[in-house]
Structure 1
Amino acid sequence: MMRGFVFFQIVLVGLSSAQQPCIPPSGKPSCVCDTADGTIDLSSISNTDGTARFTNIPQTNGDPQFTYSYNPCISYYEGYSSCSYGSTAACQYTENDNYYMLGDASTETMYIDSDTGNNYLQYDNGDDGRVTKVYLMCDQNVDSPSITADGDGDTPLTYIYHLTTKCACPGGCSDSSIPTVPPTKPGGGGGGGRENSGKSGVAPGEIGIVLVIVMVTGFVTYFVVGAVVLNRKFEKEGKEMIPQKDLWFSLPFLVKDGCVFTFGPLVNLIRHKTGKGGGDYENIK
């Protein structure tokens, strides 16, 4: 029985020293945590204009095909694909000009270990299940924060950053205002400001969708306004309210004539080659 009691105590000690998620103070973002030693507050090192505070971060093992970006506390935009959708906390850029979101800013959670000080921020719901952990390295002498990126070498799809700053220390930095509404996309759509990427930051298909919307809206406006004018000013009713009615009613026949004129020679050539005669086009000639 004594052994069981001792085992139970060991389990309790183990649970008490494990990483525990921190619930931020009321009205504060998840990058703020009240601890027994003071408040850890990263809000002052976060960009709030839709760009990333840290960009073009090389991978620590020297692999040149990957670079990274990161912004604590609030989302940002970068490049194209999912990193440009406005929910990004961390992003990976490859030498093949691809972007992968490594974590959603809305899932930001700070984990605290009061015994070891091994505190980190975690972000989930990245592309294909990617997860990011940003380990907080407390250094009271570091006024300008620095960051490294290890990639996902040890655990596939789990990306590791190390953020060194005095703001990672309890009481190291004062509170800074963070918008409760995500920022809008910066001008040009580039987001994180990656240099020499050669991309406009517009997601594929966005321009086409906009053009289709504009075209449909224009057609609807044309017919509605035209019908109102013909009815009110010229007292037209029924199909007579259709603007330029004769043109639209003759359009199918004009399309048919255009197809015959365009494809007629080809059809006649095929008929001639198959021994079925030259058809109407040849007779007209």
Structure 2
Amino acid sequence: MMKPRQLLCKTLLAVGCLQMVIVLVSGQPTGKVCPPVAGAPGCVCDHPDGKIDVRPLANSDGTPKYTNLTDPNKYPYSINPCTPFSVKGGCTNVFICQGDPHIAGEFYSIADNGTEKIYIDTDNKVYLYYTTSVRFAKIYLECDKSVTGTPQWDIKGDSAVVLHYEFTMKHASVCPGGFRGRGGGSNEIKGL
């Protein structure tokens, strides 16, 4: 027979494992993979309504296109949706890097190189999906033909589920069939 303390420890361990399983399951992609285009990076796919190509909205020089995007908890993010970048003293070879507003020089990799894929979820929303060994990120690609310069961002961070990050990028270039603009504008966005 187990002693009360052993039973409590076993129960807490089970609850801790259950919480970890919930986090891992909630971070998995939903829907189906948008068919990739042969020879293109994971940010290009053959959507049933036309090709989606996020490359015009990314830098190709190893730097993040968008910096200082902040979530509701004031955590800043640097994002380059198609080409990996590195941050001196922090993230290496990533698509999304999170800074820590409480610890100067502290960075967290949110989206590792080689993990990017476009998915179409069960509600027909299109998103870029990325992972690290413990974090998951989705950038929802919201088609808006009126946004042709700098994309409009909605940065949720991991406010809904710990270690599961959500962003929305609104732009004409993410519409199936695309837009021929370059997603110009400033290399820096100061949050929404």
Structure 2 stretches of 5 or more lacking a match? 1-29
Report which of the two has the higher share of helix: 1
**Residue 23 of structure 1: how far off its partner (Å):** 3.1
SS at match of 1:153: strand
Q: State the one-letter code of the partner of 1:137.
A: E
Aligned to 2:110: 102
2:83 aligned residue (74, 94, 100)? 74
CA distance in 2, matches of 1:31, 1:166: 15
1:149 to 145, 152, 155: 155
Q: CA deviation at 1:174?
A: 4.3
Judging by fraction of residues, say which structure has more strand: 2
Q: What is the SS of the residue equivalent to 1:33?
A: strand
For 1:20, the equivalent position in structure 2 comes to 32
Secondary structure of the structure 2 residue equivalent to 1:79: coil
Structure-1 separation of matches of 2:161 and 2:109: 17
| In 2, Cα distance between equivalents of 1:77 and 1:99 | 11
Query: Aligned equivalents of 1:155 and 1:131: distance in 2?
Result: 10
1:77 deviation in Å? 1.3
Q: Does 1:117 align with 2:128?
A: no
In structure 2, what is the Cα distance between the partners aligned to 1:23 and 1:35? 7
Q: Percent of aligned positions with the same letter in both sequences?
A: 34
CA contact (8 A) 2:70 2:77 kept: yes
Cα-Cα RMSD: 2.3
4+ residue runs of structure 1 moved beyond 3 angstroms?
none
* CA deviation after TM superposition for structure 1 residue 117, in Å: 3.0
Q: Given that residues 31 and 72 in structure 1 are in contact (C-alpha distance below 8 angstroms), is that contact kept between their aligned partners in structure 2?
A: yes
The Cα shift of 1:22 comes to 2.1
- What are the within-5 Å matches in structure 2 for residues 114-263 of structure 1? 116-125=123-132, 129-144=134-149, 145-174=151-180
Indicate how the Cα distance of structure 1 residues 110 and 28 shifts in structure 2: closer, same or farther if over 3 A, else same: same
Query: How far does the alpha carbon of each residue in 1:215-253 deviate from its partner, in whole angstroms, 9 at most, with x for none?
Result: xxxxxxxxxxxxxxxxxxxxxxxxxxxxxxxxxxxxxxx
The residue type paired with residue 46 of structure 1 is: A
3-state SS, counterpart of residue 142 of structure 2? strand
Give the partner amino acid of 1:133. Answer: K
AA at the equivalent of 2:153: I
The Cα of 1:175 is off from its aligned counterpart by 9.8
In structure 2, distance between residues paired with 1:172 and 1:116: 20
How far did 1:73 drift? 1.3
Displacement of 1:146: 2.2
The amino acid of 1:55's aligned partner reads T
What's the TM-score once normalised by structure 1's chain length?
A: 0.50
2:89 maps to a residue whose letter is Y
Count of matched residue positions in the alignment of Structure 1 and Structure 2:
153
1:48 aligned partner:
60
Counterpart selection for 1:35 from 47, 51, 70: 47
Equivalent pair of 2:173/2:181 in contact (CA under 8 Å): no
| 2:33–2:117 contact (8 Å) kept in structure 1 | yes
Counterpart position of 1:5 = none
How many Å apart are 1:151 and its aligned residue? 1.4
SS at match of 1:111: strand
Deviation at 1:71, TM superposition (A): 0.7
Deviation at 1:21, TM superposition (A): 0.9
Greater RCO between the two (CA within 8 Å, min separation 6)? 2
Q: Give the counterpart of 1:88 among 89, 94, 102.
A: 94
Q: Matches of 1:123 and 1:165 in 2, distance apart?
A: 20
- Give structure 1 stretches of 5+ with no counterpart: 1-17, 177-191, 194-285
